A and B are shown apart, each in its own frame.
Chain A
Amino acid sequence: MEFYYGLAQTIGVHTLLGLSAYIVLLTGQVTMAQAAFFAIGAYTAGMLTVLAGWHLVPAIGAGALTGAATACAVGFPALRVKGLMLVVATLAFGEGVRLFFFNFDYQVARGEIRVGPLGGEGFRQIRFFQENGWTTGEVMLFIWVFVLLAMAILWWFDRSRYGAVLRAVGEDELAAQSVGINLTAVKVSAMTVGGAVAGVGGALYAHYTTHIEHANFGVLLATFAIAYPIVGGLRNVFGTLAAVVFVQALLVEGLRDLGDWRNLLFGALIVLAMNLRPQGLFGGRRA
């Protein structure tokens, strides 16, 4: 049972990551910075619970806030450039953040051991759940509360006027602008919401793995973040969830018996899926 709880935790956190890219993708922007916001949320929340002794819930809130603030700050200069330039700008930002954490030391003596982030070795002993005696099942439920909350909020956004505005910008910027939509405001706000969701995901990730390091937040994670909504389709938030289950449960865990061949199949299946269903596995006719 522990195994399935662990799998559900991974799926939950990756769903948050995917959702953070989903809302940005609705505006037609491809962002490779979600792993960076995820990392910022993870380090912020981890440092607050471990070094400052905060409770987890406000620490997650702080992770969301720093994620959102960074996303907003990145959004303004980065969104001056469009389309593929943005892919590169956000990719470089993500790598920059990863390299920042690679060089980031802030350790405090706690009894016998020193705790806190230590450059390339990463940040160990984020043991909030263990110290407070949470079981794996409880942690899983805790994570899924946040996942469902994020899904509900984004679902509501999607149904509201705001969602229509986001999709209008994604469909045709010129047309959206000509009916009086402020492109910068829409894109930066989508980026900010995405940053907050990624920050929450990162905060939860840091606490259930207990050890984070810069290598966790590389280009690969950023790619996964946009892969989930694209593979799942942009019709609604459930596409992203379904894609996470497809990738994490079916491809990563389900193919485990295949050993070495699993990783080969993984890339090939993504290529195949995109050829057969370019609108996403669960997308509508027009994404």
Chain B
Amino acid sequence: MLDFLQAASDGVLFGTTYALIGIGFTLVFGVMHKLNLAYAAASIGAAYSGLIILQAWTAAPAWAVFLAAFIAGGLIGWMVYLTCFHFIPLSHPLAPLMATVGMLLLIDEIIVHMTDGMPQNYPAVYDDVMLRIGEFMVRGDLLLVGAVSVLCMIGLLALLYRTRLGLATRAVSQQAVAAQLCGIRVGQVNAMTFVITGLVGGLAGALIGASVGALSPLLTAPLTVKGLIVTVIGGLGSIPGAIVAGLLVGGFENVFQLYRGVTERDLYVMLLLFAFLVFRPGGIFAPRGGRD
């Protein structure tokens, strides 16, 4: 029982990063009704950019690396928007999807090229801290991951529900044409969505690097799959859904890793997804119908 609780709590804390990646997919989908498959790769790429700071300034504190990853995430997000969405007409819905795939491969290859394919050490934060409650332990680095992710989610929700930009973003996601008629610059909102999700992704990438202790381009494919699963389980376009689903998937996979081993755990995550698709295809928080 204690093992179960331990695995579940570790998983839920790590699941906050899945939640952040899921939010990125879901926001872009909500606003543009398009999938940005390059997102997880961009997030890992942004985390790598943090390492460049370390090369120039070897004694750089961890927050500097995180900040660099955060900013790089925004920049990469904007570049993905420009290269994969801005110039492609809306009448070809498959083209931007394919372009983001190209971008995914490109980012992966740039990482491999720059690091000779070797995994890179990432500065761990608070990895020697342990909170003990009897036999039950909470790893300090995972606690940091959870705390930063929650802060980031609160910031994002405040941005979406308390600012004019957030209002415009929600308007575009509800009805792009009507929003445009009201004088909202849809192109600008789309670009800003990519920058904001990029910032979140960069932070998520850095958190993943810090809690795993290393970064490798091999992280991008599983992270893409997990992020998409979180998006679907939570309900496409729903931010609270992505958060809940991220925690759920994180806890679920860690529990199954405990009982069934690391090679089988993802199989159960897929089964969870299929259970949702069959019994609740709209996800936990299905968006209200009749959006278009």
List residues of A whose CB falls within 8 A of some B CB: 25, 30, 77-78, 80-81, 84-85, 87-89, 91-93, 95-96, 99-100, 102-103, 119-120, 218-220, 223, 226-227, 230-231, 260, 263-264, 266-271, 273-275, 278-279, 286-287
Contact = CB atoms under 8 A, between A and B. Distances in A.
A82 to B, nearest CB: 9
Given A271-B102, A275-B83, A100 B267 contact: yes
Contacts of A271: 83-84, 99, 102-103, 106
Contact of B274 (A77, A219, A230, A269): A77
Nearest to B224: A219
User: Chain B's interface: helix, strand, loop or mixed, by majority?
Assistant: helix
Q: What is the size category of the interface that chain B forms with chain A? A: 35 or more
A284 to B, nearest CB: 12
Contacts of B87: 275
Nearest to A224: B101
A93 B92 CA distance: 26
A266 B270 contact: no
Given A92-B273, A99-B264, A278 B88 contact: yes
Contacts of A91: 225, 228
A96 B275 CA distance: 13
A92 B267 contact: no
B285 to A, nearest CB: 14
A232 to B, nearest CB: 11
A264 B102 contact: no
Nearest to A269: B102
A230 B99 CA distance: 10
Which of B33, B91, B101, B281 has the largest number of chain A CB atoms within 10 A? Answer: B101
A30 B29 CA distance: 15
Contact of A78 (B103, B107, B277): B277
B221 interface: yes
Contacts of A81: 277, 281
28 contacts: A77-B278, A78-B277, A80-B278, A84-B33, A85-B277, A87-B35, A89-B273, A92-B273, A93-B274, A95-B270, A99-B267, A103-B267, A120-B263, A219-B221, A219-B224, A220-B221, A227-B98, A263-B105, A263-B109, A267-B106, A268-B102, A268-B106, A270-B105, A271-B83, A274-B99, A275-B83, A275-B88, A278-B91
B45 interface: no
A218 B221 contact: yes
Given A99-B270, A271-B83, A287-B92, A266 B105 contact: yes
B229 A30 contact: no
A230 B113 contact: no
Contact of A231 (B98, B104, B110): B98
Given A84-B35, A219-B224, A278-B95, 20 more contacts: A30-B97, A80-B277, A81-B277, A84-B29, A88-B232, A88-B273, A93-B270, A96-B267, A96-B271, A99-B270, A230-B95, A230-B98, A263-B105, A266-B102, A266-B105, A266-B109, A267-B104, A270-B101, A278-B91, A287-B92
B124 interface: no
Interface in B223-269: 224-225, 228-229, 231-232, 236, 263-264, 266-267
B138 interface: no
Contact of A260 (B103, B113, B229, B236): B113
10 closest Cβ contacts across the A-B interface? A270-B102, A267-B106, A267-B105, A278-B95, A278-B92, A96-B270, A274-B99, A271-B102, A263-B109, A88-B228
Contacts of B221: 218-220
A267 B87 CA distance: 17
User: Which interface residue of B97, B98, B106 has the most chain A CB atoms within 10 A?
Assistant: B98
Contacts of A85: 232, 236, 277, 281
Given A88-B229, A274-B99, A80 B267 contact: no
Contacts of A93: 270, 274
A274 to B, nearest CB: 4
B94 interface: yes
A139 to B, nearest CB: 30
A274 B88 contact: yes
Identify the interface centre among B83, B102, B221, B236: most chain A CB within 10 Å of its CB. B102
Contacts of B274: 77, 89, 92-93, 96
Interface in B68-105: 83-84, 87-89, 91-92, 94-99, 101-105
Nearest to A229: B94
A270 B270 contact: no
B112 interface: yes
A87 B271 CA distance: 16
Contacts of A286: 91
A244 B267 CA distance: 31
Contact of A103 (B97, B102, B113, B264): B264
A80 B232 CA distance: 13
A95 B223 CA distance: 12
